[in-house]
């Protein structure tokens, strides 16, 4: 070691946390635009008019279609993959259609399995064609 005093030192401050910082997914803006288009074009109103005697009264067809549109926009390979990145923007997406929250992944998956063919037929004209 040298006996000379150190003249020029740099200091670095490191901060660590056990929480991961969530970032807004890159598809969020596109999803909001699509949801707003449905709202302002009248598709959302027509969607709300589709009758569905659903098994769970907590969520409506509107909630499932919102999840479906957002998941398709995210290009996630699965519903699980979509929900993995949904945490920071879920409330925002729900609010676009005046919903308080989105169904959980388990709830959505269970409800998707119970949608009857008559509801799917009524929903079909609302879906965009490529």
Global model pTM greater than 0.75: yes
* Torsion-angle region of 95 (φ positive above 0: left; ψ -120 to 50: alpha; else: beta): alpha
Q: Quick check: 87 and 96 in contact, CB under 8 A? A: no
Give the pLDDT confidence score for residue 56 in this predicted structure: 62
Give the pLDDT confidence score for residue 16 in this predicted structure: 63
Q: How many residues does the chain have?
A: 130
pLDDT in tens, the chain (130 residues): 556 555 655 566 656 666 666 788 999 999 999 999 999 999 999 999 999 887 667 888 999 999 999 999 999 999 999 999 898 899 999 999 999 999 999 999 988 898 999 999 999 999 877 6
């Amino acid at each position: 070691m040298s006996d000379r005093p150190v003249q020029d030192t740099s200091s670095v401050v490191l901060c660590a946390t056990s929480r991961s910082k969530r970032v807004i997914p890159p598809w969020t803006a596109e999803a909001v635009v699509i949801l707003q288009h449905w709202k302002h074009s009248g598709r959302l109103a027509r969607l709300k008019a589709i009758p569905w005697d659903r098994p769970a009264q907590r969520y409506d067809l509107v909630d499932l279609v919102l999840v479906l549109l957002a998941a398709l926009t995210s290009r996630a390979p699965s519903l699980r993959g979509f929900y993995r990145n949904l945490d920071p923007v879920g409330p925002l997406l729900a609010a676009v259609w005046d919903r308080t929250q989105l169904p959980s992944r388990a709830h959505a998956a269970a409800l998707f399995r119970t949608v009857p063919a008559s509801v799917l037929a009524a929903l079909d004209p609302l879906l965009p064609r490529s």
